[in-house]
């Protein structure tokens, strides 16, 4: 995970559990964890209420992508035992007020951007998840080809053929 030691982290909750949940939130465009990308500025907790400040790399990041990341952050942290409420703050973004208001109230993207958004983000989210999955599959197959496996050998591989040593498979 990206420099998580640098995060402002005032919490009575399990730090590792919170980091695992945040690591599951992906930037939809590049299929990487917002935590690894350094988009999480701070995590503050008080009596079950968590406030997360996100800072994306550009002021003009597409609002739909920002909304997905903020919404996914809120959803993932809401799954943690002991958390009763999650507030998302978005720093230095042109649509931060609308995104924060929509995500923190549980509104859909089209409700947060009335007259601008014609639909919600579920279909787009699924498309990016499929894109990421296919990209990882392609990377795996290319790696196996580089190791000298034939397509026939790859098709015969099973989960039990996998060995994990540290961070390597």
State how beta strands 8-10 and 40-46 pair.
parallel
pLDDT confidence of residue 6: 53
In the DSSP assignment, the letter for residue 121 is S
Alpha carbon 31 to chain centroid distance? 8
Q: Are residues 21 and 97 in the same domain?
A: yes
What's the chain's average pLDDT? 89
User: 1: pLDDT confidence band, cut at 50, 70 and 90?
Assistant: very low
pTM recorded for the entire structure = 0.81
- pLDDT tens digit string along 22-49? 999 999 999 999 999 999 998 988 888 9
In a 3-state reduction of DSSP, which class is residue 53? Answer: strand
Which sign does the torsion angle of CA 82, 15, 77, 88 carry? positive
What are the pLDDT digits (tens) for 62-97?
Answer: 999 999 999 999 999 999 988 999 999 999 999 999
**Does residue 163 lie in a domain region?**
no
Question: By residue range, what is the domain housing residue 143?
Answer: 121-157
Inside any domain, residue 34: yes
Report residue 135's pLDDT band, with 50, 70 and 90 as the boundaries. very high
Six-digit token string for 68: 């997905």
In the numeric block, which tokens belong to residue 108? Answer: 């859909």
Does 162 reside within a domain? no
């Amino acid at each position: 995970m990206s420099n998580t030691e640098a995060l402002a982290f005032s919490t009575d909750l399990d730090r590792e559990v919170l980091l695992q949940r945040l690591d599951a939130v992906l930037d939809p465009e590049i299929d990487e964890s917002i935590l690894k990308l350094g988009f999480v500025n701070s995590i503050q907790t008080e009596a079950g209420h968590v406030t997360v400040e996100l800072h994306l790399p550009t002021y003009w990041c597409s609002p739909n992508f920002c909304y997905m990341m903020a919404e996914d952050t809120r959803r993932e942290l809401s799954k943690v035992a002991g958390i009763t409420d999650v507030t998302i703050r978005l720093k230095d973004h042109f649509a931060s007020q609308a995104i924060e208001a929509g995500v923190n109230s549980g509104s859909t993207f089209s409700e947060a951007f009335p007259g601008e958004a014609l639909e919600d983000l579920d279909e787009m989210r699924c498309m990016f998840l499929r894109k990421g999955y296919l990209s990882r599959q392609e990377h795996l197959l290319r790696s196996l080809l580089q190791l000298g496996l034939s397509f026939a050998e790859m098709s015969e591989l099973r989960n039990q053929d996998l060995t994990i040593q540290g961070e390597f498979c």
